[in-house]
Amino acid sequence: MTKKLILSGVALLSAACINNAQAQQYSEVGPISYAVPFLTIAPDARSGAMGDVGVALSPDANSQHYNVSKIAMSEDNGGIGLTYSPWLKDIVPDVALIYASGFYKFGEKKDQAISGSLRYFNLGEINYRDPNNIDMGIGKPYELAFDLGYSRKLSENLSVGASLRYINSNIAPGSNANGGGYAPASTFAADLGMFYTKTTMITEETGGTFNFGAVLRNVGGRVTYTQAVRDYLPAQLAIGAAYTYKIDKYNKITASVDLTKLLVPAAKRVIDNNGDTSYVAPRDEYSVVSGILNSFQRAPGMYGTTVGIGGEYWYQDQFALRAGYFYEAPKLGNRQFFALGLGVRYSMFGIDVSYLVPSGSGIARNPLSNTLRFTLLFNFNDKFMKDKESSES
């Protein structure tokens, strides 16, 4: 029912929205432009190995990025995650994404959780030049986002959650660069999600768990670096499903899929009175809310939608093998890759590693080839606390 209400509401609102009359003729959907794209990068190794899926996977500390509502359903009382990923390592040596996250469950029934995360994107060292190729100085740009979230169970099978995000993007640091008219940009955004899970046992040792999730991400104010142009955030509507089948008491497998719609109006090819064409991005054409609603018309159907598919195998809940595929249309960024990964769990500790398989060659080589992610997890549950108390006594 919740799923139907969410999807029906979005469909009705988008259908009710009518574009303003245009003086120019739009004939073709073009690229979708937006600011702070680092917010769309899957930050952890588990999801990174499974085609960037995560909306409906079983919850952990990294759920803050994918779907904050999952955290209230965690079997652990708390957790911490830390991920390091060299980014575009085949092209540049000093770009990296660092992600730290954590959560704590509270309440008599442990049915509520607070969570948070810090994402830091180090863009290395850049020599800035203006359009006339004049040296503007060297800077060390970076972007960061800080989240605070809250989630709670509404029933044994359903949970909801929301988070608030502060975003800061400093892509042109240094006195010379700032003297060229650029300044750091900052804004706030919010996420809102729901998560449904249902387990059906076949025997005492076998059975299946179905998960479904939906989330609105990065809904917030536009950002500007020059006071002249305001760019949209990468607002997204993501839905995902996952099914885990427990083969026996030692083995289980999971299959998951995510569909993520970018809620930003696309540029259109404009044909003027002289027959000349150009692409125009609607940066100031819509407000934030109108831009989200019009994205279903200015980027219709599956345009602007990425697809992630992933699989995971666990042995004794201690050793995991993972694989996945991610597809993004060429006009969105053309990220298309296969990924592989491993996971290990022991007591309260966990380690995940993912690897993006190289593809293409020459100028067609995927720039994300050989990307690695390393995640360290600490999980705190009742079993761990009892073992700790027993060892101390």
Which range has the worst mean pLDDT, 63-67, 248-252, 318-322, 332-336?
332-336
Q: Is the pLDDT of residue 278 over 80?
A: no
pLDDT at 40: 93
Which token pair is 157? 């099978």
Band (pLDDT 50/70/90 cuts) for residue 226 is: confident
Contacts of 151 (CB under 8 A, 6+ apart): 68, 69, 70, 71, 72, 112, 113, 115, 159, 160, 161, 162
Structural domains present in the chain: 2-392 (2.40.160.40)
More confident residue, 222 or 343: 343
Which token pair is 375? 């995640």
For the entire predicted model, the pTM comes to: 0.84
Angle (CA) 338 344 349, round 5°: 130
- SS3 call for 69: helix
CA distance 25 to 299: 16
pLDDT at 26: 41
* Mean pLDDT to the nearest integer, 335-358: 94
Please report where in the chains the tokens 């080839």 appear, as a residue: 369
Q: Return phi, psi of residue 387, to 5°.
A: -65, -35
Q: Are 353 and 342 in contact (CB under 8 A)?
A: yes
| C-beta pairs of 5-8 under 8 Å, 24+ apart in sequence | 6/194, 6/214, 7/214, 7/239
Which range has the worst mean pLDDT, 227-241, 284-298, 370-384?
284-298
pLDDT at 22: 36
CA distance 353 to 96: 15
